[in-house]
Amino acid sequence: MADFNFKEKYLKYKKKYLDLKEFNSKKIGTSNKVLLIKFNSKKGGGQDLFQIYSKDGKPYNLYMFDKRNEELYSETVRKIVSSNQEDFNEETWSFSGTEGRAHDSINEILKYDYACFLTDPDYVYRNGREKIIGYIKATIVNSSDGEVPLHIYIDYVELRKYTNERNPHGQSKGLCKPMLGRFMQWLYTKHMYTYFKIFNASQYGLSARSCYTNASDEQFSYGWKIADDWGGIHSPKMLEAEEPGDEFIFMKVNEDEDEERKYSLVFAHYGSLFTYEEFVDFFGSEYVQEKWDSALPEHRYSNVQGHHDELYTLDEFRDYWKEDAIYQWSIARIVEEDDKKNGHTFLYHMQTYGQRNGIDCWNGVYCITGGPQIELRYSPFPEDEDRLFSLNDFRKVGVGHLWDGARQNNVPLILGDL
């Protein structure tokens, strides 16, 4: 097979250090919230349901369909498609409906190997099922000649057209990229497909190209090229704003493994995650290994029904999910410093009870305090008014004289965690 020298389009997960001396309030490790929110059943099966967001922050539901495993995936999707069947017509969709027929049959709509359906939870039918505003349909392509890799051909990517105020629509809302990105990520992490191909048939080729080549995010990225075949040279043509696409786009997933991250040892940033290289930058190479070994590993929200607000490590995911652990970890929601539980942020838990005890407390275990303790008070600076610091921290930045007037915290910190 020819060398696949396609143009890489990687979005790197960039993190910046907070300068403690300036009480900088930038968040570290903040994740894109376009992630799996529900794995809706017992281990090994059920409906994969994602939530994605429009450019104005509104949530939409994205249901996945696997034709080859219909016993796991067909019931929920078939019911949704059945309710929407009358709306699959030429008035609302560009590529659905056939001349002389008002709509496609359910089997016709679901004949592809894989599909996903985007719904608007604010628009439902009388039976309570949500209206579909977008879909992707895809086919497995397997060639035996060695020149064409096993890949997913994305047959259709479509968002529902605007018709009237009574019905939802999906266009012009910034939904194409997150819908396509989640679908490709699901096919990669769940089914291990690394190659994708799509034909840009849109009448607005430039906008469609932007969607197809920029659906990466912090947790999933891919390289791409515009060419005539898999071994071809990247050769995109100039497109005007309203010019049809008429081009093939070839994509390959960036298979770099997620870099391990651990929680900061700097008190002000106890809820933030850093890589080993970032630990080196901060502590220096001479002492970094000891610091890294003592740091707490990353925790993510559980995907197990009934435990979605609890936090666990990758090793704990492995113990529970076995061979499915990497997939479950890749789609697990990442905890952020300002996430709240029982009225307090994640950072508050980490700072107040210590990092290990703070996560136990977050998970509903007894919130342990004890041993040598020091008093913490809230920052005097508006941008950090919800962060806790010691008297020594105040003095380090030259505001020790503000300690007596600082807002007090009623639970001291365990000294051993500083």
In 3D space, the residue among 339, 369, 365, 340 whose CA is nearest the CA of residue 354 turns out to be 369
Helix (H) or strand (E) holding 51, with range, is: strand 48-53
270, with CB counted inside 10 A (0-12, 13-18, 19+), is buried
Q: Report how far residue 310's alpha carbon sits from residue 398's, in angstroms, rounded to the nearest whole number.
A: 38
The answer to whether the beta carbons of residues 74 and 112 sit under 8 Å apart is: no
As a whole number of Å, the CA-based R_g of the chain is 25
Domain boundaries of the chain, sorted by first residue? 7-253, 338-418
Phi, psi of 43 (to 5 degrees): -55, 135
Please list, in sequence order, all residues whose beta carbon lies within 8 angstroms of the beta carbon of residue 409, skipping any fewer than 6 positions away: 352, 375, 376, 377, 378, 388
pTM greater than the 0.75 cutoff: no
In 3D space, the residue among 274, 416, 402, 305 whose CA is nearest the CA of residue 357 turns out to be 416
Tens of pLDDT along the chain (418 residues) come to 333 333 333 222 222 222 222 222 222 222 322 223 333 332 334 467 888 999 999 999 999 998 887 766 567 888 898 888 888 877 777 765 444 344 567 888 888 999 999 999 999 999 989 999 999 999 999 876 667 889 999 999 999 888 888 788 888 899 999 999 999 988 988 888 999 999 998 888 899 999 999 988 767 888 889 988 888 888 888 888 788 888 999 999 887 656 789 999 888 889 999 988 889 988 888 888 888 988 999 999 998 888 889 999 999 988 888 777 777 787 788 899 999 998 899 999 998 888 888 998 999 887 765 443 467 788 888 877 777 777 777 877 778 888 888 887 655 444 433 3
Fold observed for domain 7-253: Aminopeptidase (3.40.630)
The answer to whether the beta carbons of residues 225 and 188 sit under 8 Å apart is: no
